[in-house]
């Protein structure tokens, strides 16, 4: 029989109380709390606890009189590196493969669907101004805002100011890099001074934060132009937010998936040149897969999360959603790494370079055969098979690998839920969670409420099992440059988000209803280069990233 700490029992008893800080703790309260966590104490043992439990609850009540800023992080923080881990040295000059010449399309919609690489060349050659390009995207954002429900706030005044500045600098010969003058959108979890940062949820729809998110500052310094704050599912869950449900541009009857729903939907529909999303448990890869975009989830700690809403301090990641892998490769080094006075202690500086070839020869590639076999009846199975065929035609040799065994996968979700419950402590205790539009058993509101009943002991035990998972998973994929997995596989998504490994979602065809399917490549920790190079090589040999939803070509 396992024994639960007095502190945890006190927490559970307090959580069971009808009102915060009221009522004397009695023996029957402890009996009830025991059933929640599967422990049992004798009557005499419980009697010895009661005074301690009351004292503990007084401590909780005292603590809750002090407000915490959203930037305050736990003194403990997550490091995904396994034992004896060494970052690979990739110091070299990148070959970005940016085209030297690009013809300016006559049609504005065709311009809107060009890649970042192509748009950058057009701006640098002054075939189009940043102001005109920004106006094209602003027009499309206004035109399709209600159709997709992917936009929270159009930052028109800021965008036109930034575009004007970019044009003036370019005219003077000032070059800030490939993103200079390129319009983009950002998930509405990131703080932008002067504009609401709603987190997609009713209680925060009028929230304006003075802080400027680190990733926004990085893009601003690179000369990028912020045209819109894009939707997130309420408190980073799903595609439903206070304004409705964000749509898949390929099928307006279907949601975009979440929670970076607006970032993927707007990018795929040509409303922005690229967007920034976040992922905790599939929130970049899933909507990118659903909407036919290319989404990079970098290694944990690659990009600063300062100025962003927290869902899980040990799992949240920031990454780009674009139309091509090349664009993700161009954006990634601009947003990665530590910032001066960065408050995000998880950020790690490491080298990155991009040197794609024309074939897969020389790459060591693994694939999760069992996970693909489970998808034989899925809508993506045929396209996955064709992807493997294409890879082999291009020189790839694929080796079978298996997921780790003897791992309690069913318990790991309590890590995310516990950390989210801590960040949104005041929301739940004030009952403002009742204002969220979704209140069913799968909703964020319900997830936050039930998090109050997760014990600290079990949270720490889950993280100990997580350490075992990190060692096992790293041992499996470390020998490979990258590994291949089916898109949206729950076990793989959970595993790689727990271990912090980078991954990318690539469109690889369409199903019988004309909706995009995708494949996932997974890389090693702090080693996105092979992942992005392989994705670029694959996209050079296919045309799926060049396909766009017909409704938005007007």
- In the chain (554 residues long), the average pLDDT of successive 10-residue segments reads 43 45 80 88 93 89 92 93 91 92 97 98 98 98 98 98 98 98 98 98 97 97 98 97 98 97 98 98 98 98 98 98 98 95 92 96 96 73 96 97 95 96 96 94 93 93 97 97 94 97 98 96 98 98 98 94
Which pair of structure tokens corresponds to residue 202?
């009713």
Rg of the chain (C-alpha set): 24
- Asked if 187 and 309 touch (Cβ cutoff 8 Å), the reply is no
User: Which structure tokens are listed for 167?
Assistant: 């044009």
* CA-closest candidate to residue 219, choices 70, 90, 339: 339
Q: 3-state SS of 502-543?
A: CEEEEEEEECCCCCEEEEEEECECCEHHHHHHHHHHHHHHCC
- The two tokens of residue 420 are 């989210």
Q: Please, are residues 542 and 324 in contact by the beta-carbon 8 Å criterion?
A: no
- DSSP-based three-state secondary structure for 124: helix
- As a residue count, the chain comes to 554
Q: Which of 135, 92, 95 is nearest to 111 (CA)?
A: 135
How many whole angstroms separate alpha carbon 209 and alpha carbon 515? 38
Integer Cα distance of 554 and 549 in angstroms: 10
What separation, in Å, do the N-terminal and C-terminal C-alpha atoms of the chain show?
Answer: 67
For residues 502 and 496, give the distance between their C-alpha atoms in angstroms, rounded to a whole number.
Answer: 7
Q: Which residue has tokens 């954006």?
A: 331
- Mutual angle of helices 116-124 and 130-148, in 10-degree steps: 150
Contact 254, 232 (CB under 8 A): no
Rounded CA-CA distance 291/249 in Å is: 7
Measured CA to CA, the distance from residue 469 to residue 481 in angstroms comes to 20
Sheet holding 274-279, edge to edge: 151-154, 225-230, 183-187, 274-279, 317-322, 294-297, 503-510, 516-522, 482-486, 365-368, 398-401
Phi-psi region of 270 (alpha: psi -120 to 50; beta: other; left: phi over 0): left
230 φ, ψ (degrees, to nearest 5): -105, 160
Q: Is the peptide bond before 259 cis (omega within 30 degrees of 0)?
A: yes
DSSP string, 158-207: HHHHHHHHHHHHHHTT----TTTT-EEEEETTB--TTSB--TTSGGGTT-
Helix then strand count (H, E) for the chain reads: 19, 15
Task: Please name the helix (run of DSSP H) or strand (run of DSSP E) that holds residue 60, with its range, or none.
Answer: helix 43-63
Contacts of 172 (CB under 8 A, 6+ apart): none
Q: What is the four-CA torsion angle of 197, 141, 328, 290, rounded to 10 degrees?
A: 90
Which residue shows structure tokens 């892998």? 325
Q: Where are the beta strands (DSSP E) in 369-438?
A: 398-401
548 is written with which tokens?
A: 């766009």
Residue with token string 């202690």: 345
The whole-model pTM stands at 0.93
């Amino acid at each position: 029989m396992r024994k639960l700490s007095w502190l945890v029992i006190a927490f559970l008893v307090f959580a069971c109380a009808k009102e915060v800080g009221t009522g004397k703790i009695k023996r029957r309260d402890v009996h009830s709390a025991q059933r929640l966590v599967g422990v049992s104490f004798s009557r005499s043992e419980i009697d010895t606890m009661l005074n301690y439990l009351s004292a503990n609850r007084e401590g909780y009540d005292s603590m809750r009189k002090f407000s915490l800023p959203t930037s305050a992080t736990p003194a403990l923080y997550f490091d995904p590196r396994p034992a004896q881990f060494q970052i690979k040295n990739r110091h070299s000059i990148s070959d970005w493969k940016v085209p030297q010449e690009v013809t300016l399309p006559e049609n504005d919609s065709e311009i809107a669907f060009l890649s970042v690489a192509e748009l950058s060349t057009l701006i640098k050659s002054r075939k189009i101004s940043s102001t005109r390009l920004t106006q094209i995207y602003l027009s499309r954002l206004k035109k399709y805002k209600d159709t997709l429900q992917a936009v929270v706030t159009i930052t028109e005044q800021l965008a036109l100011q930034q575009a004007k500045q970019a044009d003036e600098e370019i005219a003077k010969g000032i070059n800030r890099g490939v993103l200079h003058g390129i319009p983009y959108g950002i998930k509405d979890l990131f703080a932008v001074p002067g504009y609401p940062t709603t987190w997609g949820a009713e209680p925060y729809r009028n929230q304006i934060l003075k802080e400027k998110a680190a990733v926004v500052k990085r893009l601003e310094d690179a000369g990028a132009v912020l045209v819109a704050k894009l939707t997130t599912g309420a408190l980073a869950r799903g595609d439903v937010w206070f304004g409705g449900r964000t749509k898949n541009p390929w099928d307006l009857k279907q949601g975009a998936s979440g929670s970076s729903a607006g970032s993927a939907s707007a990018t795929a529909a040509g409303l922005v040149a690229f967007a920034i999303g976040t992922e905790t448990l599939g929130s970049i890869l899933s909507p990118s897969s659903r909407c036919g975009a290319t989404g990079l989830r970098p290694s944990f700690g690659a990009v600063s999360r300062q100025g962003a809403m927290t869902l899980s301090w040990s799992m949240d990641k920031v990454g780009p959603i674009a139309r091509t892998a090349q664009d993700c490769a161009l954006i990634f080094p601009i947003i990665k790494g530590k910032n001066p006075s960065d408050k995000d202690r998880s950020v790690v500086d490491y080298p990155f370079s991009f040197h794609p070839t024309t074939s897969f020869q020389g790459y060591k590639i693994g694939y999760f055969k069992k996970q693909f076999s489970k998808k034989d009846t899925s809508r993506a199975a045929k396209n996955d098979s064709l992807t493997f065929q294409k890879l082999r035609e291009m020189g790839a040799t694929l080796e079978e690998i298996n997921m780790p065994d003897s791992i309690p996968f069913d318990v790991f979700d309590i890590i995310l839920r516990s950390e989210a419950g801590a960040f949104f402590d005041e929301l739940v205790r004030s009952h403002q969670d009742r204002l969220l539009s979704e209140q069913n058993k799968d909703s964020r509101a319900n997830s936050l409420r039930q998090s109050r009943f997760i014990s600290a002991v079990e949270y720490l035990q889950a993280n100990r099992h997580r350490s075992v998972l990190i060692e096992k998973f790293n041992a499996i994929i470390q020998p490979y440059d990258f590994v291949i997995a089916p898109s949206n596989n729950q076990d793989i998504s959970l595993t790689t988000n727990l271990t912090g490994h980078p991954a990318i979602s690539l469109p690889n065809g369409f199903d019988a209803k004309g909706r995009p399917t995708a494949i996932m490549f997974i890389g090693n920790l702090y080693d996105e280069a092979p992942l992005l190079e392989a994705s670029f090589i694959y996209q050079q040999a296919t045309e799926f990233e060049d396909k766009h939803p017909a409704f938005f070509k007007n």
